Homo-oligomer: A and B are copies of this chain.
Amino acid sequence: MANIRKISELAGVSVATVSRVLNNPSTVSEETRNRVIQVIEEMNYVPNSIARSLTTNRTSTIGLIIPNILNPLYPSIAKGVEDVFYKKGYNILLSNTEYDAKREKACIEMLLSKKVDGLIICSSALKNTEFNIITKQKVPFVLLGDYVEDSDINVVYTDYLLGAYMATTHLIKAGYKTIAHISGPMNRRVSIEKLEGYKKALCESGYKYDDEYVITGNNQIDGGHLALKKILKKKGKPDAIFVANDLMALGAIEAIKVAGYTVPGDIAVVGFDDIDVASLVEPKLTTITHPVYRMGLTAARLLLDNVLTEEEECFKQKIFIQPMLKVRKSCGYDNRIEEIFS
């Protein structure tokens, strides 16, 4: 492979001049520049980014850490992130963590050792102290869908508690009496907040909270399926369920059908995320919607600002996004309203 010295020799100039043509073309006379460019093209020369990174201390690479690319939420986020960074000449180094805190830590360590210019971390289980490892290396990062009190950390956050509250309240208003909850992995702040929102809604309406009606799932389809079966076994049929994400909601609906019940007739379901599929399944899923692709964009832009800033210290932001309730069929709201008013 050709390197910069070879090019410089062929063009009859110094390596510095070749480097200038590459990085500051205007500082080289037109004549020399053209000669160098010609050699570069003839030789199909492409500079070695690794060597460049070693001197510049920049890699034009961003690390993206997500729990599981198979959850349609994350491709949307990844697309948002990539759409921003591709334009600026950055690549994305992707890692799945499978909701495993150990693996999360290992990924971050790998990405840091590869000297990414920035990091976007989705739904992490890391402690505040662990973010210090990143901060200490002066690598800017953004937490996406996760929240940390520390004011020195960038956050793009949906108000999950509110979303869960809205979902549960909606079920209460529709007249359901026994409302179960399938939660996500409990080492995630996101899951805890959704549970809190669920509790808050119950409490405000004078419903009794019963933790036997709360089952934890793995955020995937099969987890929802399993969780629903557990609920049926343990407590019998609830009227309604608020499920912490759409994927599990789909699994739960499947399990409800398998058990011989109908949705929403026997059990109403509300999910969370509003993934594309939600409006395609039967019955169409009532869910909490938040602008996932846009959150990816937002996090990326926020990070980009921090990456490009020369100053050591730059302003950190916490961006909150308000979720919305999307009423479709699976919550049986329409039917209920008729019942209530007839």
Binding site for B on A (CB under 8 A): 1, 44, 46-51, 53-54, 59, 61, 68-70, 72, 74-76, 78-79, 82, 86, 89, 91-96, 109-115, 133, 136-137, 221, 250, 276-277, 280-282
Q: Which of B48, B72, B78, B96 contacts A72 (CB 8 A)?
A: B72
A250 to B276, CA, bound (A): 11
* CB of A203 to closest CB in B, whole Å: 34
Asked if A114 meets B70 with Cβ closer than 8 Å, knowing A93-B91, A281-B282, the reply is: no
Query: What is the bound-complex CA distance between A51 and B74, given in angstroms?
Result: 32
Chain B residue with the shortest CB-CB distance to A275: B277
Within 8 Å by CB of A54, from B54, B86, B114, lies B54
**Among the listed B44, B96, B277, which residue makes an inter-chain contact with A280, where contact means beta carbons less than 8 Å apart?**
B277
Q: Are B94 and A82 in contact (CB under 8 A)?
A: yes
Interface centre among A61, A70, A95, A280 (most CB of B within 10 A): A280
Interfacial chain B residues near A74, Cβ < 8 Å: 75
Nearest B residue to A89 via CB reads B110
Contact A91 B78 (CB under 8 A): no
Residues of B within 8 A of A136 (CB): 44
* B46:A114 contact, CB within 8 angstroms: no
* 6 closest cross-chain pairs (CB), A and B: A282-B282, A69-B75, A49-B113, A280-B281, A49-B114, A94-B94
A61 touches B277 (CB 8 A): no
> Given A112-B46, A280-B280, A282-B281 in contact, is the A79-B96 Cβ separation under 8 Å?
yes
Contacts A69-B75, A280-B281 known; list 6 others, CB within 8 Å: A49-B114, A49-B115, A50-B54, A68-B79, A69-B82, A91-B114
Cβ A133 vs Cβ B44 within 8 A: yes
Given known pairs A96-B86, A281-B281, the reply for A113 and B47 (CB within 8 Å) is yes
Question: Would you give the shortest CB distance from A127 to chain B, in whole angstroms?
Answer: 16
Contact A93-B61, Cβ < 8 Å, known A69-B79, A70-B79, A75-B70: yes
What's the nearest-Cβ distance from chain B to residue A115, in Å? 5
- List 23 A-B residue pairs with CB atoms under 8 Å apart, sorted by A's residue number: A1-B137, A44-B133, A44-B136, A46-B113, A47-B113, A48-B113, A48-B115, A50-B114, A51-B54, A54-B54, A61-B93, A61-B114, A68-B79, A69-B79, A70-B76, A72-B72, A74-B75, A79-B96, A82-B94, A82-B95, A91-B110, A93-B93, A281-B282
